[in-house]
């Protein structure tokens, strides 16, 4: 059979980027005074006071930025974000304003008090800034009379970064009509106390800087991220910044996923994050794998709101309906997706380390096929699918946040030799069916501080920086209780200072603690002998490791990955039996040694 061109991440040392200081998009929830007495709107729509979306035929009907410019309604609709569209972003369902172009569709935040209905672990704002990034503070009030303050930044609609974008369109409306300029809406979340019911939010008040006119913070939608009670993430992968550079027409993909824990019901998360256009899945199935592309039994059909077909807007996600299904622990599943019509630039996780299976183009739906699945070619990345969740006895989820060393780079294809795989096996051996799930959110080449990302096709595979991908890759994971952080070596190899990396790790820990998570940090593994290192970089790595070991309470616990794989006779280098050969990435035995170094009690 012919082979599909694999998308394999380069070694992390080869991925360079410009250093940028860490910056939080949304600060942690902090206890604060109750909101001041003010009129309360029954919902956000009741407070709309600005028109920010206009039709191409009537561009002067809206004015988002005070200069007569606005979003193009037709472009948003083409992306799946038309009036009233429901879009799931980072686990939160948001609804676009149900307003005709040129009608008020957003609130210029200035302390308005908006009623909230429901509960959740976070409050997500669909926002954009004009005149500059817009930052302000607001308040959430709870039914028990308590409150918390929060701080939120809405990046500028065209000059802001891409790492927080929910959707991007290629034009903006000007008084003279549409012109080419990328403009963006952003999803930014603030943590809530999921044990309490929020009743209102006071929108941020944005202050001017240095006597200049204050930028405007526009709020288009609000959504509560619901807590998925009883669900744990038995398998997960991070959508990196790569979009599969292929054109598929009426094709079925059958992908292999290795579970951590088992369960009695299952649901999957389909993902179009960073996708430039809506993406339709005509049929999705799940099965336990026998071998190769063959399932152990006829694949079971998954539905979405009771329907077999689902379309995700650009940047959106879709969760399947719960399905009674016996998911075995520490085993391979097959998830198949039939992509009707033509699909180009589907979101993906580039380093799959697993042979996966594709039919030819212009075929029929083969998602439910058994052993006769017509394999035309192989590939080694995950696409469209980013998560599998189960219900059962498992106690929560541990998320592994990292780079290529968490992604398992240089381990055996099909061997499931990543350190998160070995950690899951240790937890199962200790706790049996009640063991926590383990979700691997490693991205090869990833950094703490710097994006290797533009949000556009064919721009790399190293992903959104760790400080910016927490909402999607950690906080929105089902059942998450603990995050193990192993990040920073790529920053060091791009000449970041130890102080800047440490500041970024502190930021990650603070955000995770604000979401009520336990944080375990890992020391950086040795790099001696790698072409990526030099004395200054080695010194920075040592300084970061010294901080992790004596962090003054920044983390709840730490694990000495460095000591687990280093050569005692030469602590800057890896033991030869653990070295994959590039003197940077461990091999399978090294990844097992890393997992064995984790105190399982530290994950509770």
The answer to whether the CB of 337 falls within 8 A of the CB of 346 is no
Across the range 366-371, mean pLDDT stands at: 98
Residue 455: pLDDT band with limits 50, 70, 90: low
The answer to whether the CB of 268 falls within 8 A of the CB of 320 is yes
- Residues whose CB is less than 8 angstroms from the CB of residue 460 and which lie 6 or more positions away in sequence, other chains included: 15, 241, 242, 445, 452, 453
- Residues whose CB is less than 8 angstroms from the CB of residue 200 and which lie 6 or more positions away in sequence, other chains included: 35, 40, 113, 114, 115, 116, 140, 141
SS3 150: strand
Across the range 308-325, mean pLDDT stands at: 98
* Phi, psi dihedrals of residue 383, rounded to the nearest 5°: -140, 145
Q: What pLDDT, on the 0 to 100 scale, is given for residue 457?
A: 67
pLDDT at 15 > cutoff 50: no
**DSSP string covering 434-450:** GSPEEEEEE-TT--SS-
Which range among 24-38, 405-419, 471-485, 531-545 shows the weakest confidence by mean pLDDT?
24-38
Q: Provide the sign of the torsion angle of the four alpha carbons 95, 98, 103, 109, taken in this order.
A: negative
pLDDT at 4 > cutoff 60: no
State how far the alpha carbon of 405 is from the alpha carbons of 14, 351, 525, 545, 601, in Å: 14, 12, 9, 16, 23
pLDDT at 309 > cutoff 60: yes
Across the range 82-111, mean pLDDT stands at: 97
- Residues whose CB is less than 8 angstroms from the CB of residue 166 and which lie 6 or more positions away in sequence, other chains included: 87, 89, 94, 126, 184, 185, 186, 187, 315
C-alpha 542/C-alpha 463 separation (Å) is 25
C-alpha 57/C-alpha 353 separation (Å) is 49
Q: What pLDDT, on the 0 to 100 scale, is given for residue 168?
A: 95
Q: What pLDDT, on the 0 to 100 scale, is given for residue 209?
A: 67
The answer to whether the CB of 600 falls within 8 A of the CB of 425 is no
* 12-17+230-603 maps to CATH 1.10.150.120: no
Q: What pLDDT, on the 0 to 100 scale, is given for residue 30?
A: 36
CA angle 354, 451, 530 (to 5 degrees): 65
Q: At what angle do helices 498-514 and 535-549 cross, to 10 degrees?
A: 30
Residue 454: pLDDT band with limits 50, 70, 90: low
Q: What pLDDT, on the 0 to 100 scale, is given for residue 363?
A: 85
Residue 244: pLDDT band with limits 50, 70, 90: confident
* Phi, psi dihedrals of residue 139, rounded to the nearest 5°: -140, 140
Residue 22: pLDDT band with limits 50, 70, 90: very low
SS3 551: coil
pLDDT at 20 > cutoff 50: no
pLDDT at 21 > cutoff 70: no
Q: What pLDDT, on the 0 to 100 scale, is given for residue 44?
A: 98
Q: What pLDDT, on the 0 to 100 scale, is given for residue 456?
A: 67
- How do the domains of the chain map onto residue ranges? 12-17+230-603, 32-225
**DSSP string covering 332-354:** EEEEEEEEEEEEES-BEES---S
C-alpha 54/C-alpha 69 separation (Å) is 9
pLDDT at 8 > cutoff 60: no
| Average pLDDT over the chain, rounded to an integer | 92
Q: In this prediction, what percent of the chain has a pLDDT beyond 70?
A: 92
Residue 213: pLDDT band with limits 50, 70, 90: confident
pLDDT at 17 > cutoff 80: no
pLDDT at 413 > cutoff 80: yes
Q: What pLDDT, on the 0 to 100 scale, is given for residue 513?
A: 98
pLDDT at 23 > cutoff 70: no
Reported pTM? 0.92
Residue 207: pLDDT band with limits 50, 70, 90: confident
Which range among 89-103, 145-159, 453-467, 519-533 shows the weakest confidence by mean pLDDT?
453-467
489: left (phi over 0), alpha (psi -120 to 50) or beta: alpha
pLDDT at 5 > cutoff 70: no
pLDDT digits (tens, 9 = 90+) for 514-557: 999 999 999 999 999 999 999 999 999 999 999 999 999 999 99
pLDDT at 511 > cutoff 50: yes
SS3 304: strand
Helix, strand, coil content of the chain in percent (nearest 5): 15, 35, 45
pLDDT digits (tens, 9 = 90+) for 253-301: 999 999 999 999 999 999 999 999 999 999 999 999 999 999 999 999 9
Q: What pLDDT, on the 0 to 100 scale, is given for residue 504?
A: 98
C-alpha 453/C-alpha 274 separation (Å) is 10
Across the range 452-468, mean pLDDT stands at: 81
CA atoms within a 13 Å half-sphere pointing along the CA-CB vector of 307: 8
Q: Look up residue 136 and give its two tokens.
A: 């302000």
Residue 447: pLDDT band with limits 50, 70, 90: very high
C-alpha 90/C-alpha 253 separation (Å) is 24
pLDDT digits (tens, 9 = 90+) for 144-198: 999 999 999 999 999 999 888 999 999 999 999 999 999 999 999 999 999 999 9
Residue 210: pLDDT band with limits 50, 70, 90: low
Q: Look up residue 332 and give its two tokens.
A: 């391979």
């Amino acid at each position: 059979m012919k082979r599909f061109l694999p998308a394999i991440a380069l070694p992390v040392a080869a991925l360079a980027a410009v250093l940028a200081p860490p910056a939080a998009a949304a600060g942690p929830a902090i206890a604060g005074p109750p909101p001041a007495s003010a009129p309360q709107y029954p919902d956000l729509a009741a407070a709309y006071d600005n028109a920010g979306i206009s039709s191409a035929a009537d561009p002067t009907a809206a004015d988002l930025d005070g200069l007569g410019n606005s979003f193009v309604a037709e472009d948003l609709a083409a992306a799946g974000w038309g009036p009233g569209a429901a879009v799931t972003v980072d686990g939160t369902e948001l609804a676009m304003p149900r307003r005709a172009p040129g009608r008020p569709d957003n609130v210029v935040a200035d302390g308005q008090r908006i009623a909230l209905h429901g509960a959740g672990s976070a409050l997500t704002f669909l926002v954009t800034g004009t005149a500059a990034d817009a930052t302000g503070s607001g308040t959430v009030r709870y039914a028990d009379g308590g409150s918390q303050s929060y701080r939120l930044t809405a990046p500028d609609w065209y000059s802001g970064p891409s790492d927080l974008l929910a959707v991007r369109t290629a034009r903006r409306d000007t008084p003279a009509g549409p012109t080419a300029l990328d403009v963006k809406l952003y999803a930014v979340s603030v943590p809530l106390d999921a044990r309490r019911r929020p009743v209102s939010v006071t929108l941020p008040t944005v202050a001017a800087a240095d006597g200049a006119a204050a930028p405007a913070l526009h709020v288009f939608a609000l959504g509560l991220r619901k807590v998925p009670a009883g669900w744990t993430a038995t398998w997960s992968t991070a959508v990196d910044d790569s979009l599969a550079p292929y054109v598929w027409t009426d094709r079925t993909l059958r992908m292999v996923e290795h579970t951590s824990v088992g369960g009695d019901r299952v649901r999957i998360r389909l993902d179009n994050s960073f996708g430039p256009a809506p993406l339709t899945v005509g049929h999705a199935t799940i099965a336990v794998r026998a071998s190769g592309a063959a399932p152990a039994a006829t694949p079971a059909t998954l539905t979405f709101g009771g329907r077999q077909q689902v379309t995700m807007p650009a940047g959106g996600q879709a969760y399947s309906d719960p399905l009674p299904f016996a998911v075995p622990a520490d085993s391979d599943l097959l998830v198949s997706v039939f992509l009707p019509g033509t699909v180009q630039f589907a979101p993906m996780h580039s380093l799959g380390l697993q042979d996966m299976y594709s039919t030819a183009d212009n075929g029929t739906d083969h998602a439910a096929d058994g052993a006769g699945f017509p394999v035309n070619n192989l590939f080694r990345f995950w696409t469209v699918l980013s998560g599998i969740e189960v219900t059962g006895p498992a106690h929560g989820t541990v998320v592994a946040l990292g780079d290529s060393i968490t992604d398992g780079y240089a381990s055996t294809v099909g061997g499931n030799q990543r350190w998160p795989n070995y950690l899951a096996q240790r937890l199962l051996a200790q706790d049996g069916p009640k063991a926590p799930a383990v979700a691997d959110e490693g991205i090869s080449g990833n950094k703490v501080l710097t994006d290797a990302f533009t949000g556009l096709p064919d721009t790399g595979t190293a992903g959104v920086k760790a400080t910016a991908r927490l909402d999607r890759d950690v906080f929105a994971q089902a059942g998450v209780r603990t995050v193990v952080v192993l990040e920073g070596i790529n920053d060091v190899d791009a000449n970041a200072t130890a102080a800047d990396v440490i500041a970024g790790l502190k930021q990650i820990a603070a955000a995770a603690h604000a979401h009520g998570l336990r944080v375990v940090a890992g020391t950086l593994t040795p790099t001696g002998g790698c072409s990526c290192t030099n004395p200054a970089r080695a010194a920075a790595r040592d300084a970061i490791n010294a901080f992790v070991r004596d962090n003054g309470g920044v983390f709840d616990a730490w694990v000495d990955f460095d000591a687990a794989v280093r050569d005692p006779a030469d602590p800057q280098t890896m033991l030869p039996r653990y070295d994959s050969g590039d003197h940077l990435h461990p091999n399978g035995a090294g990844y097992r040694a890393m997992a064995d170094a984790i105190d399982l009690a530290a994950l509770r």
